[in-house]
């Protein structure tokens, strides 16, 4: 059973965003990291890069597959999780603590297009 956290917003492409004020922390869900298996590399954008809801911003590579990262929201990258450069497997141990990028949201209302915890649970169990 995948861990799903209340209060986050989930995309059908299995990324989440945790909104704190004008910032969003974006990562992959527990379901996604289970499907990928052991993560060996995380390709992240640079600080000051723009990300757009529904578009690629990087990739996660595992021993089984590579998967594009699709941004659930639009904004400007203000921080990347540097720890993932040396320890990409942190995404496997706790994907919700080990977010990938932090963005300054350009339109917080975009979260209305995403799923809450209950909807995401239903989505992955279909």
pLDDT in tens, 61-92: 999 999 999 999 999 999 999 999 999 999 99
Which residues, other chains included, contact 19 with Cβ-Cβ below 8 Å and sequence gap of 6+? 9, 105, 108, 111
> Once rounded to an integer, what is the mean pLDDT over residues 87-115?
97
pTM of the model as a whole: 0.97
Q: Give pLDDT, residue 58.
A: 98
Where are the domains positioned within the chain? 9-115
CATH number of the domain located at residue range(s) 9-115 in this protein: 2.40.50.100
> Once rounded to an integer, what is the mean pLDDT over residues 96-112?
97
> Once rounded to an integer, what is the mean pLDDT over residues 105-114?
97
Q: Give pLDDT, residue 1.
A: 77
Q: Give pLDDT, residue 39.
A: 98
Assign 60 a pLDDT band (cuts: 50, 70, 90): very high
Q: What percent of the chain has pLDDT over 90?
A: 97
Q: How far is CA 29 from the centre of its chain?
A: 7
Q: Give pLDDT, residue 73.
A: 98
């Amino acid at each position: 059973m995948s861990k799903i956290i209340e209060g986050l917003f989930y995309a059908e492409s299995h990324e989440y965003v945790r909104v704190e004020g004008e910032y969003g922390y974006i990562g992959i869900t527990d379901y996604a990291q289970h499907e990928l298996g052991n993560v060996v590399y995380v390709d992240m954008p640079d600080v000051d890069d723009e990300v757009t809801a529904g578009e690629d911003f990087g990739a996660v590579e595992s021993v089984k597959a590579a998967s594009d990262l699709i941004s659930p929201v639009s904004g400007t990258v203000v921080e990347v999780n540097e720890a993932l450069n040396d320890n990409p497997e942190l995404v496997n141990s706790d994907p919700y603590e080990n977010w990938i990028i932090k963005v300054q949201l350009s339109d917080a209302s975009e979260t209305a297009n995403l799923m809450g915890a209950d909807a995401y649970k239903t989505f992955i169990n279909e």
